[in-house]
Every structure is written in C-alpha cells, then in structure tokens.
Chain A
Amino acid sequence: MSRDSLFLLGFVALFAVVNVALIGTGRLAADWAGFGTILAAGLTLALYSFLYRDNPLFKLAEHLYVGVVAAYELTQVWYQNILADVINPLFRGGDEGPRWVVLIPTALGLMLFTRLIHKGVWLSRLSFAFIVGLGAGLAIPRRISSFVLQQIEPSLRPLWTDSIGWGTLDTVVILVGVVSVLVYFSFSLEHTGAVGRVSTVGIWFLMVSFGASFGYTVMARLSLLIGRVTFLMEDWLTLNPPLF
C-alpha cells in the first residue's frame, strides 16, 4: 500500500473516530441535522486535503459539489423561471387566459438547443443574433455613460477650491495618478526623458494600486478560512469558541 493510500485511510479512520466520539458524548445530535454537519465537515476537510496533494477525497468532494450545484440551479431555474414565466402564463393563465406573447422568447430560447442538431444549427444563429444585438444595444450606451462619462467628471474637479485641505490633496493625487498612468500606457511614445519620468510615476501608482488590491485579496481569503474554521470548531467539534 502506498504512502498516499495509508495517509488517506488514516484520515478517514480518524474522521470516523472523531464523529463516533462526538455522537457518543452527545455533542452532535444523531439525527439528520447532525448528519448534515458531519457531511459538511467531511467535505470541508476533503477539499482542504488538496493542500497535501491532489487525491481521491478531494476529487470526490469536487465532483459532488459540481453535481449538487448543477441540480440546485436547475431546480431554482425550473420553479422560478420556467414554471413561473413560461408554463404558468401559457397553461395556467386563469381568467386572463393564456399569454401567447410568452411563446416568442420561449421559441428563441428553444432555438438555442438546435446547436445540438447539425442540420438545424442555423436556427440557433437567429437567437444568438438577438442576444448579441440586444446585449450590445443595451450595454454600450449604459456602460459608456456609467463607467466613462460619470468617471471623467470627478477626475476633472478644480484643483483650487475656497478652502485648501485634504480634498485638494486628493484631487492633486488623482490628477497626477490619472495623467502618469495614461502616459505609461501610451506605448506609441518612447518612454525616455520627460515621458519616461512621468511613466515611472505611473508605474509607482500602479504598484500601489496592485499592493492595495493584493492586501484586500489576502483579507478576503483569510475571511473565508476564518468562516470555515469557525464552522469546524463551533458547529462540528462544538468547542464553543468565545464570540467576543
């Protein structure tokens, strides 16, 4: 038996012993809620076992996750979209009768499945054309307005206001940052002399930005670890860690 197999068997055996002890001492209820907690704890540990190396337990948890998510999403879409927005308006319209207009988006949606039929693939292009046309028509003006025009205004505020304070400093930092980063990304200009010096300032701004983003990323990943460790300690091992 390989070292990896022994490690996995040991891990599973230890997990089983801990759970038997938890149920035996009454710290975990021997019901469906307790089983759910054990399953969640087992899957959490199985996924973290990837830190050792890729292994069958990790694969099992990964595949289980994909399957559960697919089934969960299908049920949500079925009840809240297909049933509520297609089947009910067509067949259970009540006094108002069937809403035939629903057939148009339904047909466009069904036509996407013709990608699976070689001879009927041209039908799916009609749906894709509709999606692309609608998406572009909606997105281009909305995004230009929200993410370009609305962002230009706060970048072009007057430097000197009635009272010079932190607000003025912020405006100066934004001005220098925007101009220097734009110069850095002007690759049609040779980065020598004054242009080179300004683009170096731009690199510094980018580095500070990347540093801030990385700091936030570390914080986010640690938060996820804290969430899982809290679950394992509080809900599974019932160590009841102090809240404050």
Chain B
Amino acid sequence: MTIFLSVCIPLLIAFELPVRATPNVRSVYDTIESLKDKEDATVLISFDYGPSSEPELQPMAIAILTHCFQRNIRVVGVTLLTEAVGLAQDAFETTAQEFGREYGRDYAFLGFKAGGAILVLNLGQDLHGTFPDDIRGNKTLEMPVTKKMGSLSDFDYVIDLTSGFPGIEEWIAYGQERYRFPLGGGCTAVMAPDFFPFLQSGQLNGLVSGLAGAAEYEVLVGKKGLAVSGMRPQSVAHLVIILFILIGNAVYLTQRRKGGA
C-alpha cells in the first residue's frame, strides 16, 4: 500500500526533478543528431516490445521518432513481434501527424514477419525481398523512403527497442556483426545490465534503458512527456524502498546486537 501511495500521490502533485542525460542515452541522441545535415538520412527502428512493456518503451519510441522528425530524418519501422504492430503504428501516427510527415516519403512501417533472428539476416541480405510490401500493401521498391534501402547496411542508424527475445542480442549477432551498421538500443530497465558489455565492446553505440532513459531522451529532445512525469513517482517510490531497506537493516542489526537473531 505504501508503494502504491508513493506512486499515486506524486502523480497528482506537480514538482520538478532534475533529469540529466547519461552518456549512453546521449550517444543515441548524438548519432541521430549527426545525421541532420545528411541528405536522405534514414534510420531503421525495430519495435520489439509488447503491451506489457508499453509504459517503458512507448515513450522511448515516441521521443526517438520525435527527434528524427524534428531533424527531417526518414524513419523505417519493422517488428520481430506480432504484439508490437499496433503500438508501432500508434507511435508513428502520433508523431508523424504532429510534424506533418508524409507516409511513404518520410516514414514507413513494414510490419511483422516471423523468424526473429532469421528475419534480421534476411533484412541484411535483401530488404525488398523480405518485405516486398509494407503493412499498408505499398511496394517497398516504389516508396521513396524504402526504394534505395536494399539492405541493413544502407541505413544510417539502426535502433532496436526491445523487451526480450528476439531483441538486441539477435540484432547484434545476426545484423550488426555481419552487416556492420551502427546499432543503438532501447530496452526495459530489467534488461539493461545484460547489455552493458555490448556498450563496452562497441557493438552497441548507445543504450536508452527504462523509463529513466526515456525521460532523459525526452529532455534532450526538448519535449517532456509521460516519461519525465513518471520520474516523480519513480523517484519517490525509490526513496521509500531505500528507507525501508535502511529501517529493515537497522532493526536486524539492533536485534542481532541484543542476541535476538
């Protein structure tokens, strides 16, 4: 109940908390920022998450799409998971409408294909063969945003937003390692520690992790949304948990000193 209240109350009371971008989040931001002057720069985003991780990853997707559309960067979306189709379409439509982007010219969503890792390999070999049509039935060989994108290597940046399998590991092993493109990641907080070794080895050039990472990206983009507002309850709940841990340990140590434990 305490945790529930520590989430509810800060949602109803507005107060400002500082959100600073960490190097891993800034790296994703800087990579997209570096593409703003490049003609026909195109980013591929793989939406590999379902509704169960929507609160963490959807604000992240919207913040990254906002950044791309702010800088006139083209975006192509795919997904390795069936559950992500509706979420990805929603994220595209919301942000594209806000920035007046045109489907087929500025962005496209290719949809879902089964296969996971095999799909990543296929995309690296022949994108048009893997996705002859997008989710709306348009030919990928005819749409301006995809007609020059024959393979994963043709994209200026690839970002995988994942909540599990298939996800970043498949994109590294079957995509980035083989076709050599810059890869950034976005993941749920619970998965983030598993991906830190890939940052150190350079296989991932940046990582946006959890709601906190999404909030950092929103601040960098200059468009605060649900992630930044979620930092209030998140921070208060964390403080409450830390307080409970301290109280629990203090009680345990006191009892042990008295010989009770």
B55 touches A81 (CB 8 A): no
Which residues on B sit within 8 Å (CB–CB) of A150? 177, 201, 203
Q: Taking the complex as formed, is B251 at the interface, i.e. its CB lies under 8 A from any CB of chain A?
A: no
Knowing A226-B230, A242-B13, say if A80 contacts B113 (CB, 8 Å).
Answer: yes
B interface bracket (residues with beta carbon within 8 Å of A): 35 or more
Which residues on B sit within 8 Å (CB–CB) of A154? 197, 200-202
Cα(A197)–Cα(B114), bound, Å: 49
B201 touches A138 (CB 8 A): no
Q: Taking the complex as formed, is A216 at the interface, i.e. its CB lies under 8 A from any CB of chain B?
A: yes
Instruction: Please pick, from A69, A138, A146, A226, the residue contacting B177 in the complex, using a CB distance under 8 A.
Output: A146
Instruction: Please pick, from B111, B117, B224, B230, the residue contacting A223 in the complex, using a CB distance under 8 A.
Output: B230
Fill in one digit per residue for B203-216: 1 if any A CB lies within 8 Å of its CB, else 0.
10000011110000
Instruction: Give the residue name and chain of the A residue nearest to B84 (CB).
Output: A76
What number of A residues sit within 8 Å (CB to CB) of B?
44
Fill in one digit per residue for B187-230: 1 if any A CB lies within 8 Å of its CB, else 0.
01111110001001111000001111000000000001110111
Q: Taking the complex as formed, is A73 at the interface, i.e. its CB lies under 8 A from any CB of chain B?
A: yes
Fill in one digit per residue for B1-30: 1 if any A CB lies within 8 Å of its CB, else 0.
001100110011110100000000000000
B12 touches A223 (CB 8 A): no
Knowing A69-B83, A216-B210, say if A138 contacts B7 (CB, 8 Å).
Answer: no
B191 to chain A, nearest CB (A): 8
Secondary structure of the A contact surface, majority rule: helix
Cα(A233)–Cα(B13), bound, Å: 13
Cα(A224)–Cα(B211), bound, Å: 9
Task: Pick out which of these stretches binds chain A: B34-42, B94-102, B146-154, B231-239.
Answer: B231-239
Q: Taking the complex as formed, is A145 at the interface, i.e. its CB lies under 8 A from any CB of chain B?
A: yes
Which residues on A sit within 8 Å (CB–CB) of B133? 84
Most buried by B among A80, A81, A217: A80
Most buried by B among A80, A139, A226, A229: A226
Cα(A72)–Cα(B112), bound, Å: 13
Knowing A153-B201, A241-B12, say if A226 contacts B54 (CB, 8 Å).
Answer: no
Instruction: Please pick, from A77, A85, A218, A226, the residue contacting B7 in the complex, using a CB distance under 8 A.
Output: A226
B225 touches A77 (CB 8 A): no
Fill in one digit per residue for B133-162: 1 if any A CB lies within 8 Å of its CB, else 0.
101000000000000000000000000000
Which residues on B sit within 8 Å (CB–CB) of A80? 85, 111-113, 135
A228 touches B241 (CB 8 A): no
In the complex, 19 of the A-B residue pairs with CB atoms within 8 angstroms, ordered by the A residue number, are A142-B173, A143-B173, A146-B173, A147-B173, A150-B201, A154-B200, A212-B193, A216-B192, A219-B238, A220-B188, A222-B7, A223-B56, A223-B234, A227-B226, A228-B55, A229-B7, A241-B12, A242-B229, A243-B229
Chain B residues at the A interface, C-beta cutoff of 8 Å: 3-4, 7-8, 11-14, 16, 52-56, 82-83, 85, 111-114, 117-118, 121, 132-133, 135, 169, 172-174, 177-178, 188-193, 197, 200-203, 209-212, 224-226, 228-230, 233-234, 237-238, 241
Chain A residues at the B interface, C-beta cutoff of 8 Å: 69, 72-73, 76-77, 80-81, 84-85, 138-139, 142-143, 145-147, 150-151, 153-154, 209, 212-213, 216-230, 233, 239, 241-244
State the 7 A-B residue pairs at the shortest beta-carbon distance, nearest first: A227-B55, A242-B14, A220-B189, A220-B190, A223-B211, A76-B82, A146-B173
Task: Supply 19 further A-B pairs (C-beta < 8 A) apart from A221-B190, A225-B7, A226-B11.
Answer: A73-B82, A77-B82, A80-B85, A138-B121, A142-B178, A146-B203, A150-B177, A154-B200, A216-B190, A217-B190, A219-B210, A219-B238, A220-B188, A222-B7, A222-B238, A223-B230, A224-B53, A226-B55, A227-B56
